[in-house]
Amino acid sequence: MLAKRIIPCLDVKNGQTVKGTNFVNLRQAGDPVALGKSYSEQGADELVYLDITASHEGRKTFTEMVSRVAAEVNIPFTVGGGISALTDVDRLLNAGADKVSINSAALRRPDLIDEITNHFGSQVCVVAIDAQQGADGEWICYLNGGRIPTERSLLDWAHEAQERGAGEILFTSMNHDGVKTGFANEALRQLADTLTIPIIASGGAGAQEHFRDAFILGHADAALAASVFHFGEIPIPRLKEYLRHEGINVR
Amino acid sequence: MKVAIVKYNAGNIYSVVNALRRLGIEPEVTDDARLLQKADRVIFPGQGEAGQAMSYLKAHELDKVICSLRQPVLGICIGQQLMCRHSEECNTECLGIFPIDVLRFKPQRHEDKVPHMGWNTVSTDATDELMKSSDGKFFYFVHSFYVPVCKFTTATTNYILDFSAALHRDNFYATQFHPEKSGDAGEVMLKRFLTL
């Protein structure tokens, strides 16, 4: 049976993981390659690396890091952050990334999705959506890491992304992100039940139960988190054991 | 040991190179018939689209080269599908090493998403030299087309239906999953291929 995936997400700035970690015996806690390798050894199913550098120099450093991850890590990994053209995708896939995640650039120019999937296949194209639920209950998509609201609704944009060939949707609830009270299960379920591509839940993980709920209530195919893993609050082996005990198929 | 990787217009070749390097082997990525024939092992990797891949192989006469290889050959993902007779993907005539047709997944329920993407278990009996010890292990899959269970099947996986996770005929081996991305289980399988 296909397993539900657990995906740690690493924010990378100038070649270093930002947000501290408290892994014991990890000589370079800030090294994204060592950290990714350690997650892989603990049983993470995939990794996501987000480039949060703005400078051109930083981009180059990130690409070099992608090559090192590809050389050392034996599970699939996605890279994202600042991808706005086919040349960015080509550079990162050539460096060894398995998938790319696109966000604002796709909202600004949806054809980017068609271009990527026509060139490299749907399986490499993850469309990340940051959305916020307003007082009226409507979910609205945001640009630039949640700074600029758009007029697109979450469901509408997710469906368009699928039609254009996206291989997966990575949905981050801005209402839940960082709050650690669980994922946006209702919205997740709506996405999962109406789309035919996998949905990755993101934003809100604070306890093991939240992952269970994202899978059982939210019908998510995968769940992504950062700080609960980085700070060792939820060790991946323990999380997997818990999920298995709750009847969820994990690797 | 000399390991050659078939160079053609498919993605993912460097994941295989990296995986072999982690095992201490520096493979040669080549479309040179002589180098492919001389290698101790040949890996035919993949990720891509069957129609375009076959046109490329034919244009470079790699189709004949691959079929005539005598050493152990391992096809991965689209590599496996191209080693079959025909693929529903773009209605493509393939290499015909495994006389079976590749079909597209037909979802039965809403939960049946295509592509089949992620970690899934394989079932195998203990007799196959390559898949031995992989029974019940998780491997990483990404594909929308599948090889039905046939007499060359050495391992199966269930998604929507039971399909071939691995095939074997004479010196030709193939897996639908990506051993190069399948963590420790994948590394064990690749090592086994190198010691066949």
Q: Which two tokens stand for residue A237?
A: 């082996």
Tally the residues of chain B. 196
Instruction: Say if the Cβ atoms of A71 and B21 lie within 8 Å.
Output: yes
Question: What is the CATH classification number for the domain harbouring A204?
Answer: 3.20.20.70
Instruction: Say if the Cβ atoms of B107 and A40 lie within 8 Å.
Output: no
Instruction: State the total domains in chain A.
Output: 1
* pTM exceeding the 0.90 threshold for the entire prediction: yes
A118 in reach of chain B (CB within 8 A): no
Instruction: Say if the Cβ atoms of A74 and B180 lie within 8 Å.
Output: yes
Query: How many angstroms separate the CA atoms of A56 and A58, rounded?
Result: 5
CB atoms within 10 A of CB A121: 22
Domain membership flag for residue A80: yes
* Partners of residue B19 in chain A, C-beta under 8 Å: 74
3-state secondary structure chain B: CCEEEECCCCCCHHHHHHHHHHCCCCCEEECCHHHHHHCCEEEECCCCCHHHHHHHHHHCCHHHHHHCCCCCEEEECHHHHHCEEEECHHHEECCCCEEEEEEECCCCCCCCCCCEEEEEECECCCCCCCCCCCCCCEEEEEECEECECCCCEEEEEEECEEEEEEEEECCEEEECCCHHHCHHHHHHHHHHHHCC
Instruction: Say if the Cβ atoms of B186 and A122 lie within 8 Å.
Output: no
Mean pLDDT of A45-53: 93
* Partners of residue A124 in chain B, C-beta under 8 Å: 11
Looking at the predicted structure, is the pLDDT value of residue A191 above 70?
A: yes
User: What pLDDT is attached to residue A16?
Assistant: 84
Domain membership flag for residue A172: yes
Domain membership flag for residue A69: yes
**Domain limits at A43?**
5-245
Q: What fold is seen in the domain B3-194?
A: Rossmann fold (3.40.50)
Domain membership flag for residue A251: no
High-pLDDT (> 90) share of chain A, % = 80
Domain membership flag for residue A200: yes
* Partners of residue B184 in chain A, C-beta under 8 Å: 74
Which residue carries 């594909």 as its tokens? B143
Low-confidence ranges of chain B (pLDDT < 50): none
Looking at the predicted structure, is the pLDDT value of residue A28 above 70?
A: no
Lowest mean pLDDT among A166-175, A214-223, B103-112, B173-182: B103-112
Instruction: Say if the Cβ atoms of A72 and B22 lie within 8 Å.
Output: yes
A221 in reach of chain B (CB within 8 A): yes
Mean pLDDT of A40-48: 97
A251 in reach of chain B (CB within 8 A): yes
Domain membership flag for residue A250: no
CB atoms within 10 A of CB B40: 11
Give the gap in angstroms from C-alpha B177 to the nearest C-alpha of chain A: 12
Residue among A40, A196, A251 minimizing CB distance to B138: A251
User: What pLDDT is attached to residue A23?
Assistant: 42
Residue among B47, B120, B183 minimizing CB distance to A2: B120
> Which one has a higher pLDDT value, A171 or A121?
A171
Query: How many angstroms separate the CA atoms of B21 and B187, rounded?
Result: 11
> Which one has a higher pLDDT value, A234 or B49?
A234
Mean pLDDT of A100-129: 95
User: What pLDDT is attached to residue A19?
Assistant: 63
In the set A45, A88, A130, A221, the catalytic residue is: A130
* Partners of residue A219 in chain B, C-beta under 8 Å: 111
Do residues A233 and A227 make contact, with C-beta atoms less than 8 angstroms apart?
yes
Mean pLDDT of A126-153: 95
Mean pLDDT of A162-182: 94
User: What pLDDT is attached to residue A108?
Assistant: 96
A67 in reach of chain B (CB within 8 A): no
